DNA sequence: CAATTCGGTGGAAACGTTTACGCGCGGCTT
DNA sequence: AAGCCGCGCGTAAACGTTTCCACCGAATTG
């Protein structure tokens, strides 16, 4: 049987209001009574009922995060960032995984919105128009920008640009690109950046279209790449890159001898690959932490102008890029 | 401004009690009025305030899950299983990651316990004695058994036994084992099973001690293994196995030519490795789903006898195991 | 036809907090 | 020395539900 503030009040010889004040840290209670209250509270094993507190304050102390796929180390790391920051401010986090299904996003958003003080929406696969806009909780987008929305994104454009520049410097004129989900905003960013940059550099870019952001997607991408004259492949993310490497291996294509591969995200996977994967580093923990910070700011001042935070990216050279084999 | 049951009641010309009943699905309201209530509710954008509901019912509709490391695909998959099952019964999930620090577990458990109806505690790194036992919420252990606790575990013992039997059949008499965290219950299980089985088979087992369940742990394990006459390495999990493979590669040790490697868990990583990793399959989604089921059962009947559910494991042969090179 | 049940509904009391308001009391200003 | 300020605290009114109890009419029973 859990005890209530009334029990503590009685035991400490004060009123429930004082107990509440002692816990709310308002400093509006003398140090002596505060100590007395705390002692009794500990003795009785009391802690404030979150439901009751929430009913009156309207704050749950929880924040929600929605990701397309928990099993993708990229999103797992973002959540870890969120969690780290949230733990400091004693907030719990509700996570929801939409299994890469865009139609689950709106629903999940609506359900979650009643449970939390704010929501972090990572890499939504829906069009912004399909997302409910009348939710009464603040939202921060991660890796998606939209007018009027708060967001934290990484500079994917710069990252893939560096990748292409590097490949060009190695001597690759024919480069393939395997894109991710159609409605991935950051995917679009990469595509546009690559197009522009390819034109600038005089590199021939083979767009392989969009593949699933999974190992299987990578397998498919590899076959598509081999059907072009490309000597290098830039993949939507590390998972796709690794999948492609696997398929290259199976088809007897040497990486990086016959085909250079560049991933994106710099997840732990890129270090596990053999050879280790050249990839674009994007700060994931930091993105998670920044998102919580923005959420807190929005919570403090709901009418503030939306902030769009941009995180830096950089190419990390490892073992899967090399000059093309002389033919 | 979110509307309340009173608004809906007024609009529909009924009492708040009826509105409540219409939403509580009790079937204690006529179909006509129910429809009327629902119509008005939709029009006003009403949905029951979870805090108020929870205050009176004592149920939050949330379940918590605590894992040592979200970034480990093994736990990510367990969470996905939990999430899938929880979504069906319209429960949200609170996840907490303890960063492999056992001292965070008790705290997290206590904090979470006020927020949720039940907690799933996956692979705790603490001794059971260090965990608070007076929490008023039901708990289900995953991959840990303890007297008086509900749990769902996998038959790791059988899995590693199969691995050792297979290695023996390939001709390996000297096998190294890299263990995981000291207080990992399932780790202890593996160690004991391997010891017993090695004795039976006449295989010489080199216990490398415990390494961190991370890539770095794997790197270390590889060096330790090479300091023994072992021709095969069984690793605590896939991450460690992949880390070890990386180090073997760096030191010019061919896998599986010079050294066979067996992982554990059969995560997506094992398919990404080159060559793909021979590993022990352990059902992760199923573990998550089963844990929720047990939680629901415990919730329905708190005084029931604890259930200990066991999931089957099986060796999956892939590319990292082969007969030892003839010397 | 009278007595009884029962499905459907409303009134009101909880649930455990937070917080506006008010009050006594000591120390400060003038 | 009289008034004022502000600190510390208690009283009581919310917050938005669920649920017990009572009530009414209609249907069922004897």
Question: What is the nearest nucleotide to B15, using C1' and CA?
Answer: C10
Any atom of strand C under 7 A from CB of A321? no
Residue at B187 is within a domain: yes
Nucleic strand C contacts from chain A, 195-254, CB < 7 Å: none
Binned at pLDDT 50, 70 and 90, residue B212 comes out as: very high
CA B115 to chain CA centroid, Å, is 20
- Mean pLDDT in residue range B5-13: 94
Q: Is there a single domain that holds both residue B238 and residue B125?
A: no
Determine what percent of chain A is predicted with pLDDT higher than 90: 89
Q: Across the interface, do A272 and B112 touch by the CB < 8 Å criterion?
A: no
What is residue A311's predicted lDDT score, i.e. its pLDDT?
98
Q: How far apart are CA A269 and CA A257, in angstroms?
A: 21
SS (H, E, C) chain A: CCCCHHHHHHHHCCCHHHHHHHHCCCCCCCHHHHHHHHHHHHHHCCCCCHHHHHHHHCCCCEEEEEECCCCCHHHHHHHHHHHHHHHHCCCEEEEEECCCCHHHHHHHHHHHHCCCCEEEEECCCCCHHHCCCCCCCCEEEECCCCCCCEEEEECHHHHHHHHHHHHHHHCCCEEEEEECCCCCHHHHHHHHHHHHHHHHHCCEEEEEEECCCCHHHHHHHHHHHHCCCCCEEEECCHHHHHHHHHHHHHCCCCCCCCCEEEEEECCHHHHHCCCCCEEEECCCHHHHHHHHHHHHHHHHCCCCCCCEEEECCEEECCCCCCCCCCC
Residue at A324 is within a domain: no
Residue at A319 is within a domain: no
Q: Across the interface, do B79 and A73 touch by the CB < 8 Å criterion?
A: no
- Minimal Cβ distance to B71: which of A93, A268, A272: A268
Q: Is the pLDDT of residue B87 over 80?
A: yes
- Range of A273's domain? 156-283
- Burial label for B56, CB within 10 Å (0-12, 13-18, 19+), is exposed
Q: Integer distance in angstroms from the first to the last C-alpha of chain A?
A: 79
CB < 8 Å to B95, chain A: 79, 83, 93-95
Q: Is there a single domain that holds both residue A279 and residue A289?
A: no
What is residue B326's predicted lDDT score, i.e. its pLDDT?
72
- Minimal Cβ distance to A80: which of B54, B97, B271: B97
The CA–C1' separation of B46 and D22, in angstroms, is: 29
Using a CB cutoff of 8 Å and minimum separation of 24, what contacts does A33-36 make?
A36/A12
Q: Across the interface, do B55 and A50 touch by the CB < 8 Å criterion?
A: no
CB < 8 Å to B269, chain A: 269, 272
Q: Is the pLDDT of residue B54 over 70?
A: yes
Q: How far apart are CA B282 and CA B280, in angstroms?
A: 6
| Residue closest to sugar C1' of D7 by CA | A28
Number of domains in chain B: 3
Cβ atoms of A63 and B94 within 8 Å: the answer is no
The CA–C1' separation of A22 and D6, in angstroms, is: 19
Q: How far apart are CA A238 and CA B170, in angstroms?
A: 34
CATH number of the domain at A306, please. Answer: 3.40.50.2300
Q: Is there a single domain that holds both residue A68 and residue A97?
A: yes
- Mean pLDDT in residue range B62-72: 95
Determine how β-strand B92-97 pairs with β-strand B62-67: parallel
Q: How far apart are CA A211 and CA A182, in angstroms?
A: 9
What is residue B26's predicted lDDT score, i.e. its pLDDT?
66
| Residue closest to sugar C1' of D16 by CA | B52
Cβ atoms of A61 and A92 within 8 Å: the answer is yes
Q: How far apart are CA A238 and CA A215, in angstroms?
A: 9
Any atom of strand C under 7 A from CB of A23? yes
- Burial label for A222, CB within 10 Å (0-12, 13-18, 19+), is buried
Calculate how close chain A gets to B203, using CA atoms only, in Å.
Answer: 30
**Looking up tokens 């119509």, which residue turns up?**
B39
Q: Is there a single domain that holds both residue A187 and residue A265?
A: yes
Nearest-CA neighbor of B264 among B225, B235, B287?
Answer: B235
Q: What is the dihedral of CA B167, B168, B172, B175, to 10 degrees?
A: 70
Residue at B57 is within a domain: no
The CA–C1' separation of B30 and C1, in angstroms, is: 30
Residue at A232 is within a domain: yes
A259 in contact with B, Cβ within 8 Å: no
Instruction: Look up residue A40 and give its two tokens.
Output: 């009794």
The helix-helix angle for A5-12 and A16-23 (nearest 10°) equals 110
Q: Is there a single domain that holds both residue B166 and residue B304?
A: no
CATH number of the domain at B40, please. Answer: 1.10.260.40
- Chain D positions with a protein C-beta closer than 7 Å: 7-12, 14-20
Binned at pLDDT 50, 70 and 90, residue B80 comes out as: very high
CB < 8 Å to B47, chain A: 114
Q: Is there a single domain that holds both residue A84 and residue A15?
A: no
Cβ atoms of B67 and B79 within 8 Å: the answer is yes
Q: Is there a single domain that holds both residue B15 and residue B162?
A: no
CB < 8 Å to A52, chain B: 51, 55
| Cβ neighbours for A26, distance < 8 A, ≥ 6 positions apart | none
Q: How far apart are CA B322 and CA A8, in angstroms?
A: 67
CB < 8 Å to A83, chain B: 70, 95-97
Q: Across the interface, do B2 and A115 touch by the CB < 8 Å criterion?
A: no
Supply φ then ψ for residue B150, to 5 degrees.
-80, 145
Q: Integer distance in angstroms from the first to the last C-alpha of chain B?
A: 79
What is residue A17's predicted lDDT score, i.e. its pLDDT?
93
- Mean pLDDT in residue range B233-250: 95
Residue at B56 is within a domain: no
Query: A56, A77, A95: which to substitute to probe chain B, counting the most B Cβ within 10 Å?
Result: A95
Q: Across the interface, do A55 and B73 touch by the CB < 8 Å criterion?
A: no
The CA–C1' separation of A33 and D1, in angstroms, is: 33
The helix-helix angle for A285-300 and A73-88 (nearest 10°) equals 40
What is residue B1's predicted lDDT score, i.e. its pLDDT?
60
Q: Is there a single domain that holds both residue A95 and residue A18?
A: no
Residue at B74 is within a domain: yes
| Residue closest to sugar C1' of C7 by CA | B28
Q: Is there a single domain that holds both residue B207 and residue B244?
A: yes
Q: Which residues of chain A have pLDDT under 70?
A: 1, 26-27, 327
Over the stretch B103-114, which tens digit does the pLDDT of each residue have?
A: 999 999 999 999
Q: Is there a single domain that holds both residue B34 and residue B127?
A: no
Calculate how close chain B gets to A308, using CA atoms only, in Å.
Answer: 27
| Cβ neighbours for A236, distance < 8 A, ≥ 6 positions apart | A178, A179, A180, A184, A187, A190, A210, A211, A213, A217, A264
Residue at B316 is within a domain: no
Q: Is there a single domain that holds both residue B23 and residue B34?
A: yes
In chain A, residues 23-62 whose CB comes closer than 8 Å to chain B? 45, 47, 49-52, 54-55, 60, 62
Over the stretch B264-299, which tens digit does the pLDDT of each residue have?
A: 999 999 988 889 999 999 999 999 999 999 999 999
Residue of A nearest to B285 (CA): A71
Instruction: Look up residue A196 and give its two tokens.
Output: 């522009």
Q: Is there a single domain that holds both residue A222 and residue A272?
A: yes
Cβ atoms of A204 and A198 within 8 Å: the answer is yes
Q: What is the mean pLDDT of chain B?
A: 94
Any atom of strand C under 7 A from CB of A53? yes
């Amino acid at each position: 049987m859990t005890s209530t503030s009334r029990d503590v009040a009685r035991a400490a010889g004060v009123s429930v209001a004082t107990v509440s004040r002692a816990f709310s840290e308002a400093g509006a209670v003398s140090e002596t009574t505060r100590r007395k209250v705390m002692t009794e509270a500990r003795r009785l094993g009391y802690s404030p009922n979150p439901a009751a507190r929430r009913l009156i304050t309207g704050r749950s102390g929880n924040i929600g995060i929605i990701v397309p796929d928990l099993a993708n180390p990229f999103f797992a790391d973002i959540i870890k960032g969120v969690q780290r920051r949230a733990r400091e401010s004693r907030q719990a986090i509700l996570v929801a995984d939409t299994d890469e299904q865009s139609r689950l996003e709106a629903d999940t958003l609506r359900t979650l919105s009643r449970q939390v003080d704010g929501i972090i929406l990572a890499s939504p696969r829906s069009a912004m128009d399909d997302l409910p806009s009348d939710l009464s909780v603040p939202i921060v987008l991660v890796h998606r920008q939209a007018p009027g929305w708060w967001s934290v994104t990484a500079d994917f454009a710069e990252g893939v640009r560096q990748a292409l520049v590097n490949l060009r410097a190695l001597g690759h004129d024919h480069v393939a690109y395997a894109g991710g989900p159609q409605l991935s905003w950051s995917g679009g960013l990469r595509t546009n950046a690559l197009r522009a940059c390819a034109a600038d550099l005089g590199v021939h870019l083979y767009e392989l279209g969009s593949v699933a952001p999974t190992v299987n997607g990578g397998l498919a991408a590899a076959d598509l790449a081999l059907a072009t004259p490309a000597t290098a492949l830039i993949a939507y993310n590390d998972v796709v890159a690794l999948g492609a490497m696997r398929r290259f291996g199976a088809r007897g294509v040497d990486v990086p001898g016959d085909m250079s591969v560049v991933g994106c995200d710099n997840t732990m996977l890129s270090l596990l690959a053999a050879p280790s994967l050249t990839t674009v580093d994007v700060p994931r923990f930091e993105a998670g932490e920044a998102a919580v910070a923005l959420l807190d700011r929005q919570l403090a001042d709901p009418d503030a102008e939306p902030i769009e935070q941009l995180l830096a990216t950089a190419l990390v050279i490892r073992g899967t890029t090399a000059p093309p084999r002389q033919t």
